[in-house]
């Protein structure tokens, strides 16, 4: 067995991931949230009138909606003390060489260029609120695939943009979707034309890098009939002393016979509030797959959902949550069956350690008419010590005919028998526990591209080494 | 509102001790103070009580609403009507009555606590074993009345016995307001079998709470059956407060016509080395609807606890609807918790198999339902109750 270099999480993390370069912004909006700030953001971006109106209307909705009373405690968020827009450089870079040195330094540490050299088709890496580095493989544009940042898409593809933006998650959907629609900036826009298969995963790195800075990216993916795309979103963030808020909205439309996979590895630093709305519409015989890993943040509330709109649609959520000290991962998935003969599965794996709390929260809804549909939910939780906590809140509503619905969940600790077996083979306790945890989340890691799977195993290793001893 | 002080003075206070009168008054105040549950309350989101107005049923039945039967009771055993016992055995009852079933819980528990009409008190002293099951029968005879019985059971240390609460409507289509609640206290090492069989009329509104508290090494086998009521909300809750205690909570329900059943369960593991095993099985036909919401809570420090929770729904018609919400809150790692829920129709292969043997579809379906309930019926803690339940189920399956 290969030996793994020891990394002391507590002290080294700051050097490894938790650096931050001095702030040097071209434009920095004032703190706080009011119509003037929203107008300023829209003006800076030279947006069309309809977007400004939508932003202002969303701000109104945000003001009116109450904070959610369920899930994690969000009362500590101070919306008036957040920067809603930052722009790190004034023009989009087209090649790596043109990037400002500060930003390059950040990406060097994240390994973006190496990743690109390996197999990236296009990188749309977000530094703060604006996409600054962006490249698109020639082959993709030849096929007619659009992969750009959302701001450019609004400028360059106005018809396509207007047709779909806000149709999956309207501003009034929930308080944080309203906030995002009011102040959104950056994110990815993908359009895959009919019958086109994008064989290489498209990826984007996200970072937050200013104290108290909000990140409100907006992603919109449209898979036209018979197409396929795999989008990967991953993030690491520097450590700060005050709380920051990340509130993204991801909208996906999967048309007839198309398939979309959306993979997330979320590793925000443990002071970030990560409140994200992700939803996909799956049409006839389409498949939508969410692969969702939550390792970082102080609080995550995120329930990727699939609305199964037409017969034969299929939805999948594969979710992994890891909560360490002071963390609360409130994650899960939602499957809304609207049409007959639709199927869905949710698999959730959660690990709590050092006083962390993981909650699975899910909803299976079968509307009248969604007859002959099937849904299966499986949740497994692993508690690594007696200070940690795990909850399961599955809501199963069946209003359709002849449907089959199943839910199973288990909560346990690391099995003494497994530990004993491994230790009797000369493996130390902490190594054995790490192996068991990695085995526990294997159904998740095996769905990831190799590079990410290695990174995830490594992250779990770091988290585990921090505690056991 | 006709549920006021006047009927309290008039009907119920006759002969009741002052402490109980005060308690009823306090509960009435609570009832007046609490709002009607609305769809924004998590527990009531899927349960619509807006059509229920207790004032429509603010009349109590004149005839005796309950009888109790226990033969050859050993010395020291007390089996009495609860209001009578409240006077004669204040020391036993005052500290316990409505301590598990708190009137503050919601408007309906408050109303039940203020106006409970009769019911049963059973006290079994330390070390006493009763072989024959004891039964309490609660009747409703009239239309449009309130029948609100309450059962209080105290099981002394190492006592052993079985008890059955049977809720019986004289006419099957009686509208009315009905409750049937029980508080069960298990002393150290006690072993209690408790069965509740709810057969109120098809037009009744039923609210029942069955709550148990288990001391060290005690064992409870609870079996709850719901058949009656246009609306029935039943809460089954066990608090495991002593090491080594075990609660087995089983239930069956059969909903047909336009019946709506709601079940709420709690397995509250407050200390370690405790076990709970819950299985709720229901069959639905016609346009019936059911909601199951259950929670396993393992408190911090409740190590080496073992909890199981399952809800299985067999949907026999295209228009019946079942909702199932099995929840876990686990605050300790050294535990084993598993839960599961299923909602599904009759397996067409099973049906096909039976029909290929020449069995008519109706009969085949009935056999499948009987088979579905079979494993849980075997868990009914005593013969007498099992015979009763099987007969009732048989007659309803038709």
Q: Are B122 and B164 in contact (CB under 8 A)?
A: no
Of the candidates A327, A314, A382, A377, the residue with the CA atom closest to the CA atom of residue A355: A327
Q: Look at residue A200 in the predicted model and tell me its pLDDT.
A: 80
| pLDDT, mean of residues B94-104 | 93
Q: Is B147 helix (H, G, I), strand (E, B) or coil?
A: strand
When CB atoms are compared, the residue of B301, B315, B325 closest to A394 is: B325
When CB atoms are compared, the residue of A70, A392, A411 closest to B335 is: A411
Q: Please tell me if residue B329 touches chain A, with a CB cutoff of 8 Å.
A: yes
Query: At residue A75, does pLDDT exceed 90?
Result: no
Q: Are B276 and B239 in contact (CB under 8 A)?
A: no
Query: At residue B384, does pLDDT exceed 70?
Result: yes
Query: At residue A208, does pLDDT exceed 60?
Result: no
The token pair at B294 is: 């259950």
Q: Look at residue A465 in the predicted model and tell me its pLDDT.
A: 64
- For A114, the domain range is 22-416
Tokens 């809304």, residue located: A336
DSSP state of B57: G
* Euclidean distance between CA atoms A145 and B170, whole angstroms: 73
Q: Look at residue A91 in the predicted model and tell me its pLDDT.
A: 41
* Euclidean distance between CA atoms A55 and A37, whole angstroms: 11
Grade residue B60 by pLDDT with cuts at 50, 70 and 90: confident
- What are the backbone dihedrals phi and psi of residue A366, each rounded to the nearest 5 degrees, phi first? -115, 105
- Indicate whether A238 belongs to any domain: yes
pLDDT in tens, A228-247: 999 988 655 444 445 578 89
Q: Are A84 and A33 in contact (CB under 8 A)?
A: yes
Q: Is B192 helix (H, G, I), strand (E, B) or coil?
A: strand
- Indicate whether A469 belongs to any domain: no
* Euclidean distance between CA atoms B125 and B115, whole angstroms: 29
The token pair at B117 is: 């009409």
Distances A216 to A110, A112, B66 between C-alpha atoms, Å: 21, 22, 65
- What are the backbone dihedrals phi and psi of residue A32, each rounded to the nearest 5 degrees, phi first? 100, 175
Q: Please tell me if residue B38 touches chain A, with a CB cutoff of 8 Å.
A: no
User: Are B333 and A386 a contacting pair at CB < 8 A?
Assistant: yes
User: Are A404 and B343 a contacting pair at CB < 8 A?
Assistant: yes
* Euclidean distance between CA atoms B135 and B141, whole angstroms: 19
User: Are B343 and A396 a contacting pair at CB < 8 A?
Assistant: yes
* Euclidean distance between CA atoms B319 and A167, whole angstroms: 32
Grade residue A92 by pLDDT with cuts at 50, 70 and 90: very low
pLDDT in tens, A421-440: 999 999 998 889 888 988 89
For residue A394, the chain B residues in CB contact (below 8 A) are 325-327, 341
- Indicate whether A237 belongs to any domain: yes
If one compares A162 and B61, the residue with the highest pLDDT of the two is A162
* Euclidean distance between CA atoms B110 and B105, whole angstroms: 7
* Euclidean distance between CA atoms A214 and A83, whole angstroms: 6
Grade residue B16 by pLDDT with cuts at 50, 70 and 90: confident
Q: What is the separation of C-alpha A168 from the centre of its chain, rounded to a whole number of angstroms? A: 17
Of the candidates A298, A345, A292, the residue with the CA atom closest to the CA atom of residue A321: A292
Scored b (16 or more CB within 10 A) or e, A416-430 reads: eeebeebeeeebeee
pLDDT in tens, B228-261: 999 999 999 999 999 999 999 999 999 999 999 9
* Euclidean distance between CA atoms B37 and B30, whole angstroms: 14
* Euclidean distance between CA atoms B303 and B299, whole angstroms: 9
Return the residue in A373, A379, A395 with the most chain B beta carbons within 10 A, the one to mutate for interface testing.
A395
Q: Look at residue A28 in the predicted model and tell me its pLDDT.
A: 60
* Report for A111-115, B58-62, B230-234: range of highest mean pLDDT: B230-234
- What residues have CB less than 8 Å from B120, skipping those under 6 apart? B66, B68, B79, B80, B81, B82, B136, B149, B151, B152, B165
When CB atoms are compared, the residue of B329, B332, B340 closest to A408 is: B340
Q: Look at residue A123 in the predicted model and tell me its pLDDT.
A: 40
User: Are A383 and B323 a contacting pair at CB < 8 A?
Assistant: no
Query: At residue B331, does pLDDT exceed 70?
Result: yes
Grade residue A176 by pLDDT with cuts at 50, 70 and 90: very high
* Euclidean distance between CA atoms A319 and A360, whole angstroms: 9
- What are the backbone dihedrals phi and psi of residue A77, each rounded to the nearest 5 degrees, phi first? -70, 125
Q: Look at residue A162 in the predicted model and tell me its pLDDT.
A: 94
The token pair at B376 is: 């849980």
pLDDT in tens, A239-271: 444 557 889 999 999 999 999 999 988 877 777
Nearest CA in chain A to B337: A411
If one compares B12 and B174, the residue with the highest pLDDT of the two is B174
For residue B332, the chain A residues in CB contact (below 8 A) are 383, 386
* Euclidean distance between CA atoms A285 and A283, whole angstroms: 6
Q: Look at residue A401 in the predicted model and tell me its pLDDT.
A: 84
Q: What DSSP string runs through B332-356?
A: -SSEEEEEEEEEEE--HHHHHHHHH
Q: Look at residue A163 in the predicted model and tell me its pLDDT.
A: 95
User: Are A398 and B321 a contacting pair at CB < 8 A?
Assistant: yes
* Euclidean distance between CA atoms A225 and B184, whole angstroms: 62
Q: How many residues does chain B have?
A: 398
pLDDT in tens, B109-123: 999 999 898 889 999
- What residues have CB less than 8 Å from A215, skipping those under 6 apart? A126, A128, A129, A186, A206, A208, A244, A245, A246, A247, A248
User: Are B345 and A404 a contacting pair at CB < 8 A?
Assistant: yes
**pLDDT > 70 in chain B, percent:** 95
- As a whole number, the mean pLDDT across chain A is 80
pTM for the predicted model, two decimal places: 0.84
Q: Please tell me if residue B334 touches chain A, with a CB cutoff of 8 Å.
A: yes
* Euclidean distance between CA atoms A208 and A244, whole angstroms: 9
Q: Please tell me if residue B156 touches chain A, with a CB cutoff of 8 Å.
A: no
The full 3-state SS of chain A, as one line of letters, equals CCCCCCCCHHHHHHHHCCCCCCCCCCEECCECCCHHHHHHHHHHCCCCHHHHHHHHHHHHHHHHCCCCCCCCCCCCCCHHHCECCEECCCCCECCHHHCCHHHHHHHHHHCHHHHHHHHCCEEEEEECCEEEEEEECHHHHHHCCEEEEHHHHHHHCHHHHHHHCCCCCCHHHCHHHHHHHHHCCCCEEEEECCCCECCCCEEEEEECCCCCECECCEEEEEECCCCEEEEEEEEECCCCCCCEEECCEEEEEECCCCEEEEEEEEECCCCEEEEEEEEEEECCCCEEEEEEEECCCCEEEECCEEEECCCCCEEEEEEEEEECCCCEEEEEEEEEECCCCCEEEEEEEEEECCCCEEEEEEEEEECCCCCCCEEEEEEEEEECCCCCEEEEEEEEEECCCCCEEEEEEEEEECCHHHHHHHHHCCCCHHHHHHHHHHHHCHHHHCCCCHHHHHHHHHHHHHHHHHHCC
The angle at the Cα of B378, spanning B375 to B382, to the nearest 5 degrees, equals 160
* Euclidean distance between CA atoms B382 and A221, whole angstroms: 61
Structurally, chain A folds into a number of domains equal to 1
Q: Look at residue B126 in the predicted model and tell me its pLDDT.
A: 97
Query: At residue A94, does pLDDT exceed 90?
Result: no
When CB atoms are compared, the residue of A386, A392, A405 closest to B343 is: A405
* Euclidean distance between CA atoms A362 and B259, whole angstroms: 27
For residue A407, the chain B residues in CB contact (below 8 A) are 324, 326, 339-342
- As a whole number, the mean pLDDT across chain B is 91
- Least confident window among A18-27, A455-464, B373-382: A18-27
């Amino acid at each position: 067995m290969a030996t793994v270099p020891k990394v002391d999480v507590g002290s080294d993390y700051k050097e490894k991931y938790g650096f931050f370069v001095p702030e040097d912004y071209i434009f920095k909006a004032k703190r706080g949230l009011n119509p003037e700030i929203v107008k300023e953001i829209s003006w800076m971006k030279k947006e069309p009138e309809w977007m400004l109106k939508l932003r202002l209307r969303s701000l109104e909705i945000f003001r009116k909606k109450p904070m959610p009373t369920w899930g994690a405690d969000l009362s500590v968020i101070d919306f008036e003390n957040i920067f809603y827009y930052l722009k790190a450089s004034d023009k989009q870079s087209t090649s790596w060489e043109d990037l400002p040195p500060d930003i390059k330094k950040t990406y060097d540490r994240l390994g973006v260029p190496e990743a690109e050299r390996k197999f990236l088709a296009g990188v749309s890496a977000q530094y703060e609120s604006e996409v600054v580095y962006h490249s698109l493989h020639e082959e993709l544009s030849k096929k007619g695939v659009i992969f750009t940042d959302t701001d450019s898409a609004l400028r360059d593809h106005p018809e396509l943009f207007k047709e779909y933006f806000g149709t999956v998650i309207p501003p009034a959907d929930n308080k944080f979707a309203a906030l995002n629609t009011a102040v959104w900036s950056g994110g990815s826009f993908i359009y895959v034309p009919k019958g086109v298969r994008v064989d290489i995963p498209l990826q984007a790195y996200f970072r937050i890098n200013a104290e108290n800075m909000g990140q409100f990216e907006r992603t919109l993916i449209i898979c036209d009939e018979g197409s396929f795309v795999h989008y990967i979103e991953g993030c690491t963030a520097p450590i700060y002393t005050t709380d920051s808020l990340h509130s993204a909205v991801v909208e996906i439309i999967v048309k007839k016979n198309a398939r979309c996979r959306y993979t997330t590895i979320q590793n925000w630093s443990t002071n970030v509030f990560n409140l994200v709305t992700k939803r996909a519409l799956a049409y006839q015989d389409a498949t939508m797959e969410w692969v969702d890993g939550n390792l970082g943040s102080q609080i995550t509330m995120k329930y990727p959902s699939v609305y199964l709109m037409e017969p034969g649609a299929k939805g999948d959520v594969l979710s992994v949550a890891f909560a360490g000290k002071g963390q609360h991962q409130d994650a899960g998935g939602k499957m809304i069956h609207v049409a007959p003969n639709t199927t869905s599965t949710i698999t959730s794996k959660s690990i709590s350690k050092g006083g962390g709390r993981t909650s699975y929260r899910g909803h299976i809804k079968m509307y009248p008419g969604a007859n002959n549909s099937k849904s299966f939910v499986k949740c497994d939780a692993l508690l690594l010590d007696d200070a940690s906590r795990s909850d399961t809140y599955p809501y199963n509503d069946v209003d359709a005919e002849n449907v089959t619905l199943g839910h199973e969940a288990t909560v346990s600790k690391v099995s003494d028998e497994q530990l004993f077996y491994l230790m009797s083979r000369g493996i130390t306790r902490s190594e054995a526990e790490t192996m068991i945890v990695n085995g526990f989340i294997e159904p998740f890691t095996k769905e990831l591209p190799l590079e990410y799977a290695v990174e995830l195993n490594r992250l779990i290793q770091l988290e585990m080494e921090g505690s056991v001893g | 509102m006709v549920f006021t002080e006047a009927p309290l003075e008039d009907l119920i206070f006759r002969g009741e001790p002052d402490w109980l009168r005060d308690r009823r008054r306090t509960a009435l105040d609570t009832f007046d103070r609490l709002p009607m549950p609305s769809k924004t309350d998590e527990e009531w989101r899927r349960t619509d009580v807006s059509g229920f107005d207790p004032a429509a049923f603010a009349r109590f039945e004149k005839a005796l609403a309950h009888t109790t039967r226990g033969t050859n009771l050993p010395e020291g055993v007390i089996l009495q009507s609860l209001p009578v016992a409240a006077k004669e055995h204040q020391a036993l009852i005052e500290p316990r009555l409505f301590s598990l079933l708190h009137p503050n819980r919601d408007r309906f528990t408050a109303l039940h606590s203020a106006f409970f009409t009769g019911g049963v008190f059973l006290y079994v002293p330390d070390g006493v074993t009763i072989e024959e099951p004891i039964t309490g029968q609660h009747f409703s005879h009239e239309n449009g009345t309130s029948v609100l019985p309450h059962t209080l059971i105290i099981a002394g240390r190492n006592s052993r016995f079985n008890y059955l609460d049977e809720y019986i409507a004289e006419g099957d289509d009686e509208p009315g307001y009905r409750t049937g609640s029980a508080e069960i206290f298990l002393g150290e090492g006690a072993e209690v079998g408790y069965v509740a069989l709810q057969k109120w009329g098809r037009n009744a509104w039923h609210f029942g709470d069955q709550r148990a508290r288990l001391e060290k090494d005690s064992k409870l086998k609870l079996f709850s059956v719901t058949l009656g009521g246009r609306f029935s909300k039943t809460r089954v809750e066990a608090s495991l407060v002593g090491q080594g205690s075990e609660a087995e909570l089983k239930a069956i329900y059969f909903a047909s016509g336009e019946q709506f059943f709601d079940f709420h369960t709690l397995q509250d593991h407050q200390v370690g080395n405790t076990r709970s095993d819950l299985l709720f099985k229901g069959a639905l036909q016609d346009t019936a609807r059911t909601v199951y919401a259950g929670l396993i809570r393992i408190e911090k420090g409740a190590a080496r606890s073992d909890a199981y929770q399952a809800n299985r729904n067999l949907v026999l018609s295209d228009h019946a609807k079942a909702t199932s919400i099995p929840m876990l809150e686990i605050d300790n790692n050294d535990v084993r918790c598993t839960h599961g829920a299923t909602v599904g129709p009759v397996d067409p292969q099973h049906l096909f198999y039976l029909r290929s043997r020449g069995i008519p579809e109706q009969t085949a379906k009935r056999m499948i339902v009987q088979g579905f309930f079979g494993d849980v019926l075997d868990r009914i803690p005593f013969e007498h109750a099992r015979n009763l339940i099987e007969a009732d189920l048989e007659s309803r399956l038709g």
